[in-house]
């Protein structure tokens, strides 16, 4: 059967379409709450609540030969979309996502940013278990021969659902998850060099040595409430080059020291404009550095210096220019979504 699997199972092409709200999202909300409960937050790690106020790092002095200056920057990309959908015998909708995923390491070599290493591949993500094993085997093998890897998605929350958007989200999460695995490979390639990764450390554990690697994760979006009321007052009081006191996040995969830092913003901007959250591994900070708060100040100061000043770049306020460069480099290596999609349609005769 091979590449005809989709056509033979009545798959339809799908146009590019934004994600829609989930049809039945009550359970999902509950699940997210449960995930929140898995995290423990210790806000008094650096200072007790009544002593929380912005800490200015703009004056932190960083020796030119400081060993912990981030010189490698890692970013990943998942460029693709749901290109088709088919149904199981029971009528459950199965989205098929096609994407190019990749990760890159950019090295700051005495002020010159150059590409150190990269990886990219083409993947097809879908829930496969409702289909006959021999058809999926043949499909996976035929895709492999054409340079695509089939990613088997888990059913959302362990069961199929008639909610197409929920199935679609599960499929998208699978390719994102695979992209993060590529980022971990990039981290491995960076060895023990000081490195900054675009995103949370928790999803990249295993890619670095928690005790010895000076790794920092930078998170642009703020989806969870970690702070107490005084923490939020401090957060909104931050000016450019200021940070909140650090707090401890105990998570399932890794314990991190975290803090907020303002990279950009003027009084007329949104209150949270230009604020990023940073994470470093607890073992490195506690055991290797003996809780040296100067490290956090120096690191924050350097990150402010690395901030993206290209205002034409959409996410400039929360980006660093090496990360912007990494995104551009990786984007240039990709073939382009529509080209790949057309080839996929041709191969699968959809």
Which residues lie near another protein (CB under 8 A)? Answer: 119, 128-129, 131-134, 136-138, 140-141, 144-145, 147, 149-152, 181, 184-186, 188-189, 206-212
Question: Alpha-carbon distance 344 to 209, whole Å?
Answer: 39
Residue 280, beta-bridge partner list: 257
Shortest approach of another protein to residue 223 CB, angstroms? 25
Contact between 125 and 171 (Cβ < 8 Å): yes
Shortest approach of another protein to residue 150 CB, angstroms? 8
Nearer to another protein, 213 or 300 (CB): 213
Nearer to another protein, 136 or 316 (CB): 136
Contact between 251 and 202 (Cβ < 8 Å): yes
Contact between 305 and 61 (Cβ < 8 Å): no
Query: By C-alpha distance, which of 96, 335, 77, 296 is closest to 182?
Result: 77
Question: Alpha-carbon distance 278 to 291, whole Å?
Answer: 16
The token pair at 277 is 């959250």
Nearer to another protein, 8 or 138 (CB): 138
Shortest approach of another protein to residue 178 CB, angstroms? 8
Question: Alpha-carbon distance 287 to 265, whole Å?
Answer: 35
Shortest approach of another protein to residue 146 CB, angstroms? 8
105: helix, coil or strand? strand
Shortest approach of another protein to residue 220 CB, angstroms? 25
Residue length, the chain? 350
Shortest approach of another protein to residue 128 CB, angstroms? 5
Contact between 55 and 243 (Cβ < 8 Å): yes
In the block, tokens 């230009």 appear at: 274
Give the contacts of 221 (CB within 8 A, at least 6 positions apart): none
The token pair at 330 is 């990786």
Nearer to another protein, 185 or 242 (CB): 185
Shortest approach of another protein to residue 142 CB, angstroms? 8
Query: By C-alpha distance, which of 70, 68, 72, 78 is closest to 114?
Result: 72
Nearer to another protein, 152 or 346 (CB): 152
Nearer to another protein, 48 or 132 (CB): 132
At 13, phi and psi to the nearest 5?
-65, 155
Nearer to another protein, 128 or 276 (CB): 128
285: helix, coil or strand? helix
Nearer to another protein, 43 or 153 (CB): 153
Nearer to another protein, 72 or 307 (CB): 72
Shortest approach of another protein to residue 127 CB, angstroms? 10
Shortest approach of another protein to residue 209 CB, angstroms? 4
20: helix, coil or strand? coil
In the block, tokens 């960076």 appear at: 190
At 207, phi and psi to the nearest 5?
-90, -10
């Amino acid at each position: 059967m091979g590449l005809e699997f989709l056509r033979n199972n009545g798959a339809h092409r799908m146009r590019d379409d934004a994600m829609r709200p989930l049809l039945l999202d009550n359970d999902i909300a509950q699940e997210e709450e449960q995930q929140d409960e898995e995290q423990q937050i210790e806000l008094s790690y650096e200072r007790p609540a009544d002593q929380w106020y912005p800490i200015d790092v703009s004056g932190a002095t960083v020796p030119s030969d400081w060993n912990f200056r981030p010189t490698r920057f890692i970013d990943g990309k998942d460029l693709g979309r749901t290109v088709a959908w088919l149904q199981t015998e029971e009528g459950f909708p199965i989205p098929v996502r096609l994407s190019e995923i990749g990760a890159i390491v950019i090295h700051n070599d005495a002020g010159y940013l150059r590409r150190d290493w990269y990886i990219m591949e083409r993947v097809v993500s879908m829930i496969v278990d409702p289909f006959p094993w021999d058809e999926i085997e043949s499909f996976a093998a035929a895709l492999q021969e054409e340079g695509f890897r089939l990613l088997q998605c888990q059913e959302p929350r362990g069961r199929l659902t008639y909610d197409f958007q929920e199935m679609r989200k599960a499929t998208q999460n699978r390719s994102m998850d695979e992209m993060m695995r590529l980022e971990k490979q990039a981290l491995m390639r960076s060895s023990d060099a000081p490195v900054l990764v675009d995103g949370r450390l928790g999803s990249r554990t295993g890619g670095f040595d928690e005790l010895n690697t000076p790794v920092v994760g930078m998170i642009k979006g703020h989806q969870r409430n970690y702070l107490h009321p005084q923490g939020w007052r401090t957060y909104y009081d931050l000016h450019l080059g200021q940070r909140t006191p650090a707090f401890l996040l105990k998570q399932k995969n890794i314990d991190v020291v975290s803090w907020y830092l303002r990279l950009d913003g003027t009084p007329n901007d949104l209150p949270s404009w230009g604020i990023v959250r940073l994470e470093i591994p607890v073992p490195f900070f506690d055991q290797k550095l003996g809780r040296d708060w100067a490290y956090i100040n120096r690191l924050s100061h350097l990150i402010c210096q690395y901030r993206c000043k290209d205002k034409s770049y959409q996410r400039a306020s929360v980006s660093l220019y090496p990360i912007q460069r990494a995104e551009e480099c990786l984007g240039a290596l990709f073939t382009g979504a529509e080209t790949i999609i057309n080839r996929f349609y041709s191969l699968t005769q959809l």
